[in-house]
Amino acid sequence: MKRIVSLVLAAVLIMPTTGYGQTTSLRRLETQNDALVWQAVGRLDSRNGGYCTGTLIAPDLVLTAAHCVYDQSGAAVRPGDMRFRAGVTGGQAAAERGVIQIAAHKGFKPGTPLSRENVRHDVALVRLDSPIPSSELAPFAVHRGGVVHGPVSVVSYGRGRSDALSRQNQCQVIDFTQQILMMDCDVTFGSSGAPVFTHLNGRGRIVSVVSGMSQYQGRKVAFGMALEPVLAELKSNLRAGAPRPQAVVKRLVIGAGKTASGAKFVKP
């Protein structure tokens, strides 16, 4: 959990020459009314006390990061040891379900050195033990049509704010290279798997999933992947009953020769 991995960022991304857009502060959603629109975003809790952020994308499917399906000891998490708590606000969930199936994208290679391939494929799906009716919580759709530069938003949990959703209304995709997004979004430990929304067509659609964080040129940056290309294949694997991952995993982190950290499990 505390291990720091460094990588020359230029090997992964090339910074654009354009400047940053207007980025807003992270805001805690204190009440059920504040959180109402975002309650399909929840905490994916592990029996060992850790958690990631996950998002309902179908009545029985939760989207998260692939490295979230491994515990801090490096072992694959068993479905029975995970629980999805949607829209936790003030410590209370809008809906709660157990987990019966977990599938990480086959392109994600746990236990291997940091690479562009792992960032691109850091996506997992979790099947719930019973659907959450759409009349109770409306799942979020995945954005189609490619990734564009510009404003996005992130809804997440994290260290120091594990009992309520927080939303950053606007942050910027500051680079998109080789299917990897660099963003100036405010994420922290526990934010792994958080949905990155585009708002180009009304209600937010998920364009990426938070994978890790780092410092670059004095700014904190977050990393995600182009979601659409990998999600269809992952859904196919889930339908085929692909077994859960078995390999040992180390925390996914991206750095620039400086202190860097991933946004994986934390203790509440």
* Rounded-to-5 percentages of helix, strand, coil across the chain: 15, 35, 50
- Reduce the DSSP state of residue 53 to 3 states and report it: strand
- ∠ CA 53-51-149, rounded to 5°: 25
252 pLDDT more than 90:
no
Instruction: Give the integer Cα–Cα distance in Å for 25 and 2.
Output: 27
3 belongs to a structural domain: no
264 pLDDT more than 60:
no
62 belongs to a structural domain: yes
161 belongs to a structural domain: yes
216 belongs to a structural domain: yes
Confidence of residue 72 (pLDDT cuts 50, 70, 90): low
- ∠ CA 51-54-59, rounded to 5°: 130
212 belongs to a structural domain: yes
2 belongs to a structural domain: no
The residue range of the domain holding 98 is: 9-240+250-262
The residue ranking higher by pLDDT, 139 or 268, is 139
102 pLDDT more than 90:
yes
179 belongs to a structural domain: yes
268 belongs to a structural domain: no
Domain count, the chain: 1
Q: Which two tokens stand for residue 77?
A: 């998490």
Over the range 242-261, which residues count as b (16 or more CB within 10 Å of their CB) and which as e?
Answer: beebeeebbbbbbbbeeebb
- Reduce the DSSP state of residue 88 to 3 states and report it: coil
201 pLDDT more than 90:
no
Strand partners, 224: 181, 210
Q: What pLDDT shows up at residue 235?
A: 85
Give the domain CATH number at 115.
2.40.10.120
